[in-house]
Amino acid sequence: MTTETTPASAPRDTALTTFIDALPKVELHVHLVGSASVPTVLELARRHPDGGVPTDEARLRDFYRFRDFPHFARVYDAVNLLVRTPEDVATLVLGTARDLAAQNVRYFELTVSPYAHVRAGMSYPAVTEALDLAVRRARERHGIEIAYIFDIPADFGAEAVTGTLTAALDHPAEALVGFGIGGVEQMRAPIRDEIRDAFRAARAAGLRSLPHAGEMTGPETMWEAVDQLGAERIGHGIACVRDERLMAHLRDTATPLEVCPTSNVCTGQVAGLADHPLPRMLDAGLFVTLNSDDPPMFDTTLTGEYRVAADVFGLGRADLAALARNAVTASSMAEPAKRTLIEEIDALA
């Protein structure tokens, strides 16, 4: 699948492009494995040739052409199984930090699935040690701050729920701020009670509830995230446009939504960018943030998502600055740092 490009009838505004490049940004929805650049994945594939992931660039790019979300999930898992050592984990985190810093991203929340790395042969303490080291090195080398969200890969059942909670409570990274769940949403039904109990325990330990919901299922998954998981922010959430009552609730509670337009097209959740519900969500007054999800896999960047918002959805400087402010506000940054970054956005806008 490919995404739509800017229509020929709407040439890119170079002044707006310059503004987007200069805009200080925060990324709230990006996955550790999915953020690995093509050169990094090739390095890992060659390091672990038994993993079944292509070791040449042309074949890898073809590997990243997704038929639907289940196919994407299988490819993602294959790449994930290449991450077998603490060095592999640190390599991915630092690569993501480098790529985002180059886009004027000052802070990002990285979604990590420790259980998946334990499946590949690591221990929970080893994963945490690598994550902690990467935070320090990213700050020193790239001047960027990282926070982590430990995410349940729901595709692997109750064991993944238990493992993720164990990682969060017994082996937390120093920069751990949130607890989430991702993967194929339809796989949650058989373990609904286990998921609810895990989120309750994580929240009691002081972690924010940051689940994916409403990406590949209907509004009912979002209601479940709100009512059963205590969601403070929702990953994707595009299904809300199918339920007026849900949209009213999200607007009234100012619940942030981590919207990832290119991702939704690439995994077949939306037919094309022109069909994406983002404009409707903004018109309804919802609290929207822009994010890249798995950028190299979807041939995008966070800056690219802001350009999509301008080129395809027609957003101007004030709208784009508002989205950037929303991301800062919805983040887990310390309040003084939030105020400083918002002042910088305001000055540019």
Would residue 66 count as lying in a domain? yes
What is residue 83's predicted lDDT score, i.e. its pLDDT? 85
Task: Count how many domains the chain has.
Answer: 1
Count Cα neighbours of 299 within 13 Å in the Cβ-side half-sphere. 15
| 215 classed as catalytic | yes
pLDDT recorded at residue 81: 85
Residues 6+ apart with CB under 8 A from 75: 63, 64, 66, 297
Mean pLDDT confidence for 35-45: 86
The answer to whether position 3 is within a domain reads: no
Q: What is the pLDDT of residues 190-212, one digit of tens each?
A: 999 999 999 999 999 999 999 99
d(CA 207, CA 202): 6
CA 345 from chain centre, in angstroms, equals: 22
The DSSP bridge partners found for residue 147 are 109
Can you name the residues that pair with 213 across neighbouring β-strands? 236
**For residue 145, is pLDDT > 90?**
yes
13 within a domain of the structure (yes/no): no
Contact in structure between 142 and 98 (CB atoms under 8 Å): yes
Which pLDDT does position 7 carry in this prediction?
40
Residue 176 has pLDDT above 80, yes or no: yes
Q: Is the pLDDT of residue 72 over 90?
A: no
In a domain, 315, yes or no: yes
Say yes or no to pLDDT of 6 above 70.
Answer: no
Checking if the pLDDT of 82 tops 60, the result is yes
Residues 214, 250 contacting (CB under 8 angstroms): no
Q: Does 2 map to a domain? A: no
Whether the predicted pLDDT of 3 surpasses 70 = no
Q: Which residue has the higher pLDDT, 4 or 322?
A: 322
Model confidence band, residue 12 (pLDDT cutoffs 50, 70, 90): low
List the domain range (segments joined by +) for residue 252.
Answer: 19-344
Residue 129 burial (C-beta neighbours within 10 Å; 0-12, 13-18, 19+):
middle
Q: Mark out the alpha helices in the chain (DSSP H runs).
A: 14-22, 38-47, 57-63, 69-80, 86-101, 114-119, 124-142, 157-170, 192-204, 219-227, 244-253, 261-266, 278-283, 302-311, 317-330, 335-348
pLDDT at 252: 98
Average pLDDT for the chain:
93
| Sole residue written with tokens 């080291």 | 133
Catalytic residue among 109, 145, 185, 215, which? 215
10 in a structural domain: no
> Please, which pLDDT band fits residue 220 given cuts at 50, 70 and 90?
very high
What letter would DSSP give residue 293?
B
1: in domain: no
Higher pLDDT, 39 or 255: 255
Confidence of residue 235 (pLDDT cuts 50, 70, 90): very high
What does the pLDDT average to over 119-139? 95
How many CB atoms neighbour CB 150 within 10 A?
31
In a domain, 89, yes or no: yes
Do the beta carbons of residue 347 and residue 308 sit within 8 Å? no
**250 pLDDT higher than 70:** yes
For residue 64, the model assigns a pLDDT of 85
Confidence class for position 5, pLDDT limits 50, 70, 90: very low
Q: Is the model's pLDDT at 1 over the cut of 60?
A: no
The number of residues making up the chain comes to: 349
CATH number, domain containing residue 55? 3.20.20.140
